Amino acid sequence: MLPFRMVTHAPLARLLWFASPSFPTGGYAYSHGLEFSVEAGEIPTEARLESWLDTFLQHGAGRTDAILVRHAHRAARSQLQLQTLIELAEAMALGLERHLETTAQGAAFAAAATIWGPAQPAAPYPVAFGAFAATQGASEHEACIGYLAATLANLVSAGIRLIPLGQSAGLRLLRALEPTLLAVAEATATATLNDLGSAAFQMDIAALRHETQHTRIFRS
């Protein structure tokens, strides 16, 4: 009975590893433009950080990436479809640093994931995550939630270091944003590639301005 259980739950265990902060994607080095917004005085408190993260999930790259994860999961065994998604994902990355953020993390994820399976083609992070999760037997919905949780955890970590806030504040933020995360995952289940797009303009401008920020500790 025990071996059967281990096989049944292996995809979930692997998904937890892939979404873990300890999985070496280098996500700790990126802030998605958050660093500039904090320095500019736009995010001085826990409440403002929660609002920024909520916007990221609902109207920014969080939603877009969730759609890409889902479609990459479905296209995992079609190189032609994956290439289309790779091109779309790169096109959705506004500015040099956003492009670096998604491509570098995707490459790091693919390199680390070879321990579980064959090397994957170079792809932006959400495409690499969704496609590989599919090959490991994780469901599309679980992969979407796992990706969003991993991304949100990285941004919360960046925020509590930048403002700064304590670890308890970070946990409160994760708990407060849980309903939004799950709602975005659910809402993207039927999204098509025509639904790709964001409306987080201030966030996008901050990411562009971060490129010339004088003093910084993050790469985006």
Query: What are the pLDDT digits (tens) for 67-104?
Result: 999 999 999 999 999 999 999 999 999 999 999 999 99
- What is the pLDDT at residue 6? 46
Distance (Å) of CA 122 to CA 3, 82, 96, 127, 141: 34, 10, 18, 9, 23
Average pLDDT score over residue span 32-50: 97
Measured CA to CA, the distance from residue 89 to residue 200 in angstroms comes to: 17
Residue 118: pLDDT band with limits 50, 70, 90: confident
Domain ranges of the chain: 32-210
Does position 45 have pLDDT exceeding 80, yes or no? yes
Pick the closest to residue 111 from 101, 125, 94 (CA basis).
125
CB atoms within 10 A of CB 137: 14
- Name the average pLDDT for the chain: 93
Q: How many CA atoms lie within 13 A of 174 on its CB side?
A: 18
Residue 121: pLDDT band with limits 50, 70, 90: confident
Residue 215: pLDDT band with limits 50, 70, 90: confident
- What is the pLDDT at residue 150? 96
Both structure tokens of 54: 């909520």
Q: What is the pLDDT of residues 126-166, one digit of tens each?
A: 999 999 999 999 999 999 999 999 999 999 999 999 999 99
Residue 4: pLDDT band with limits 50, 70, 90: very low
Does position 63 have pLDDT exceeding 50, yes or no? yes
**In this predicted model, which residue has the larger pLDDT, 52 or 7?**
52
- 46-59 vs 61-74: helix crossing angle, rounded to 10: 40
Q: How far apart are the first and last CA of the chain?
A: 48
Determine what percent of the chain is predicted with pLDDT higher than 70: 96
Sequence-distant (≥ 6) Cβ neighbours of residue 200 within 8 angstroms: 55, 56, 59, 60, 61
User: Are the beta carbons of 43 and 159 closer than 8 angstroms?
Assistant: yes
Average pLDDT score over residue span 177-197: 97
**Domain 32-210 part of CATH 1.10.4190.10:** yes
Q: What is the pLDDT of residues 101-116, one digit of tens each?
A: 999 999 999 999 999 9
